A and B are shown apart, each in its own frame.
Chain A
């Protein structure tokens, strides 16, 4: 039972355009959501997070949107840069449980 789903295995965008990565979840107990970026041969790197009490969090070029009623979140990258090319993981956690539940990831390719 996959509680965090990233339905797009890959996404390709042009440099300078917007990248939108999507994530759906099923567990209503999740109250904290995170995005991680992973380059080959490296561990995941924390990118941005959002609490369930908010619907938007922004950090520079990265914005995460949360729609609790739809159990959906998205990561927007504007403008996209070639260095953003990586696998992006959506992760969720709930209550006092520090365990992170990850999606399968989306490979983003930003073409120059």
Chain B
């Protein structure tokens, strides 16, 4: 059983640029959620994808967008990067019909905006 893999592991971007982060969900999982973890904070919910559609969104502006593909992998896109976007971005996959909320998290992508 493969876990959740994220790429890249680290990334440095310049303010105003765009970035795409990728996530492969765990085998058997059909839902992908993205979280942002700023330094010293807990993970904050960005959005969730199920059946290739956004299914819930946190308090993040529209320049944060995503995709889910038929194989349940996902992308997080951030446009017009700001310095405050520097954070660890975590992807988590789960089974929609499992109410144990046992998300499996990836190791994250560390994004630095300079």
Contacts and interface: CB of A to CB of B under 8 A. Distances in A.
Interface of A: 4, 6, 32, 34, 36, 41-46, 49, 89, 91, 93, 97-105
Given A89-B43, A99-B58, A44 B101 contact: no
Interface of B: 4, 31, 33, 35, 40-45, 48, 55-56, 58, 90, 92, 94, 96, 99-108
B37 to A, nearest CB: 8
Contacts of B92: 43
Nearest to A93: B101
Given A44-B90, A49-B100, A97-B56, A4 B42 contact: yes
Nearest to B91: A43
A43 B107 contact: yes
B18 to A, nearest CB: 24
30 contacts: A32-B101, A34-B101, A43-B92, A43-B105, A44-B105, A46-B104, A49-B100, A49-B101, A49-B102, A89-B43, A91-B42, A93-B101, A98-B55, A98-B94, A98-B101, A99-B33, A99-B45, A99-B48, A99-B56, A99-B58, A100-B35, A100-B43, A100-B45, A101-B45, A102-B35, A102-B42, A102-B43, A102-B44, A104-B40, A104-B41
A88 to B, nearest CB: 11
A4 B90 CA distance: 19
Given A98-B48, A99-B45, A42 B107 contact: yes
Given A32-B101, A49-B100, A104 B106 contact: no
Nearest to A97: B56
Nearest to B48: A98
B41 to A, nearest CB: 6
B101 A43 contact: no
B90 A43 contact: yes
Given A6-B42, A98-B33, 6 more contacts: A43-B107, A46-B104, A89-B43, A91-B42, A100-B43, A100-B103
